Chain A
Amino acid sequence: MAVNPEETDLNKKHIVTLNEKEPLAISTKDLHVYYGKFEAIKGVSLEFEKNKITSLIGPSGSAKSTYLRSLNRMNDEISSAKVTGEILYKNVNINDPEVDVYTTRKQIGMVFQSPNPFSKSIYENIAFGLKRHGVKGKETLDKAVETSLKQAALWDQVKDKLNQSALALSGGQQQRLCIARAIALKPEILLLDEPASALDPISTSQVEETLIELKENYTIIIVTHNMQQASRISDRTAFFYLGHVLEYDETRKIFTNPTIQATEDYVSGHYG
């Protein structure tokens, strides 16, 4: 049996919440996103655990990326987008015009689908965000560049060519540079929007290893179309479908014994 809109009961959901022992990193309550009149996200409430990797999976058009982008207010940059509901981060509802988006984005970093380094040097790419937030001094910057490149497992490959253009790096290296650039700001949460979809298998596994290492210090939320990737690296998985989250649980459970029929159909490849 396949997932299809007519036969899927969108009201039947299975969403776990965190227990007391599991520290909360960020959560949303009844989050809706509208593009003009179109409602892309229809009330999503999720809790993300600290220092864990959470995957957002689901077919194209299920609004995973839209959801991810609202978590650090990137949807503000789309003039037609409107976000309602609560995004709770450190007990503050950051979905509030009063909240400073620049501070928010510094603490909730983002890496995009295709690597998007600036046509500047490797060094400048990483120093960019720091400088914009007022970090000064060559030594401080040097150190931050080195640390974040090391964390992104790129230091050994680029330490001799920090002043060369970032565009000369391979796709996988560029993506890890983008990760390094994001973590240079010392965010607490890292949002990744299909970070490996433009990469070959070897670069993909390098990025995955990097993410697993980063988990110790960061909370990672990743959108992926790659089922194996979700099951390999993530602790929890949310299944998005037509703007709803139908199931949210331990990754193991989602992939071996999901509660909702649509989830099972999707993860076993019977979609459409």
Chain B
Amino acid sequence: MEETVQHFKKRSPKRKQERFGKTISLVATIFIVSIVFSILFFVASRGLRTFTEHGVSAIDFFAGTAWRPGEVSDAGEPLVGAFPMIAGSFLVTIFSALLATPFALGAAIFMTEISPKTGKKYLQPVIELLVGIPSVVYGFIGLTVIVPFIRQIFGGTGFGVLAATLVLFVMILPTTTSMAVDTLNAVPRYYREASFAMGATRWQTIYKVVLRAASPGLLTAVIFGMARAFGEALAVQMVIGNAALVPDSLTTPASTLTSILTMNMGNTVLGTLENDVLWSLATILLFMSLFFNILTRWIGKKGAMK
């Protein structure tokens, strides 16, 4: 009896191994979570100094249209209105998503429903390649091809929201397409069979069954594309013109949160308003990407409940 108890209570190497594995993964998780939280804390605490240390009012910051850090207005208020950049960021994001979504959907439908063989063999590698191209290359192409092209057609400098939109369109197209492909592939085959068996045509099946069933996932794909567009810095900075003005036309120089950040972060002194206000822009970026993230999770949950 005692022997049996001993036998079962003996610490086997397996138990040790098990605990070792658990510990490693727990440590890794804690490490990652703490990094994320320290970044959040660091950026936000720096960003909030604009309001706490330098006394800029939130309204002046979010709604103000004059961005000349280092200068003060006649009333003595610092000129740090971030509205031009916020507007610029949202404009290029929304326009590029509007432009990319139909193409991404069309390509995804072709690759999954119409010609899966061609899709797998030729289009999939092309799209993967597009994802892997560094953003500076996209920016460079934008600078040498798109900007002169716009200049020729619309006049002006060619830099602006339109150029940024076109560059971002190409950049988010593969992201949205490949996610849409995954979503469409995840629609159970039997939905299509059921539809075909009732004599529905292929287009009716795609439009009324497959796309409907995939709609939460497709929305997520679009939002992922938007998140990428919103966060893209380098390529946008190269073609948008970087004038901190509220864009009143698609072809005049404008700026985004990211482009102003990359332009100016090397030129300011830590602790000054000029520096802290850049951290405020970074905070907006961070919370926007958090927002995109939460949105996709929320859509995923809503979709799953159906």
A and B from one complex: yes
Residues of A within 8 A of B (CB): 72, 74, 77, 79, 101-106, 109-112, 114, 116-120, 128-129, 132-133, 165, 178, 181-182, 185
Q: Which residues of chain A are within 8 angstroms of B195 by Cβ–Cβ distance? A: 118, 128, 132
Report yes or no: B199 in contact with A114, Cβ–Cβ below 8 A. Answer: no
CB of B198 within 8 A of CB of A116, answer no
Extra inter-chain contacts (15) besides given A110-B197, A128-B200, CB under 8 Å: A77-B193, A77-B196, A103-B199, A105-B196, A105-B197, A105-B198, A106-B198, A112-B194, A114-B190, A118-B191, A118-B194, A119-B306, A129-B199, A132-B198, A181-B198
Q: Which residue of A lies closest to B116 (CB)?
A: A79
CB-CB under 8 A from B201, the residues of chain A are 102, 132
Task: From B117, B192, B197, B212, give the contact of A72 (CB < 8 A).
Answer: B197
Residue pair A118, B213 in contact (C-beta under 8 Å) = yes
Q: What B residues does A74 contact at CB under 8 A?
A: 193, 196-197
CA–CA, A112 to B306, complex, Å?
Answer: 22
Instruction: Report whether B199 and A104 are in contact in the complex, using a CB–CB cutoff of 8 Å.
Output: yes
Contacts of A165 in B (CB 8 A): 306
CA distance A261 to B194 in the complex (A): 38
* Contact pattern, B 205-220, Cβ under 8 Å of A = 1, otherwise 0: 0001100110000000
At the interface, yes or no: B204 with Cβ under 8 Å from chain A?
yes
Residues of B with C-beta under 8 A to A101: 199
Question: Closest 9 A-B residue pairs measured CB to CB?
Answer: A129-B198, A105-B199, A106-B199, A110-B197, A116-B190, A132-B200, A102-B199, A116-B194, A132-B204
Q: In the assembled complex, which residues on chain B have CB atoms less than 8 Å from the CB atom of A185?
A: 198-199
Interchain CA distance A120-B195 in the complex, whole Å? 13
26 contacts between A and B (CB under 8 A): A74-B193, A101-B199, A102-B199, A103-B199, A105-B196, A106-B199, A109-B198, A111-B197, A112-B190, A112-B194, A112-B197, A114-B190, A116-B190, A116-B191, A117-B194, A118-B213, A119-B213, A119-B306, A120-B212, A128-B195, A128-B198, A128-B200, A132-B204, A132-B208, A178-B194, A185-B198
Please name all residues of chain A whose beta carbon is closer than 8 Å to the beta carbon of B306 when the two chains form the complex.
Answer: 119, 165
What are the residues of chain B within 8 A of A119 when measuring CB–CB? 213, 306
CB-defined contacts of B198 to chain A, threshold 8 Å? 105-106, 109, 128-129, 132, 181-182, 185
Q: Which residues of B contact A178 (CB under 8 A)?
A: 194
Q: Which B residues lie within 8 Å of A77 (CB)?
A: 192-193, 196
Given contacts A102-B200, A119-B306, contact A112 B193 (CB under 8 A): yes
**Set of chain A residues within 8 Å of B188, measured between Cβ atoms:** 116
Nearest A-chain residue to B188, judged by Cβ? A116
Taking the closest CB of chain A, its distance from the CB of B183, in whole angstroms, is: 14
A240 to B208, CA, bound (A): 37
Contacts of A103 in B (CB 8 A): 199
A182: chain B residues at CB < 8 Å are 197-198
Report the minimal beta-carbon distance from B261 to chain A, rounded to whole angstroms.
44
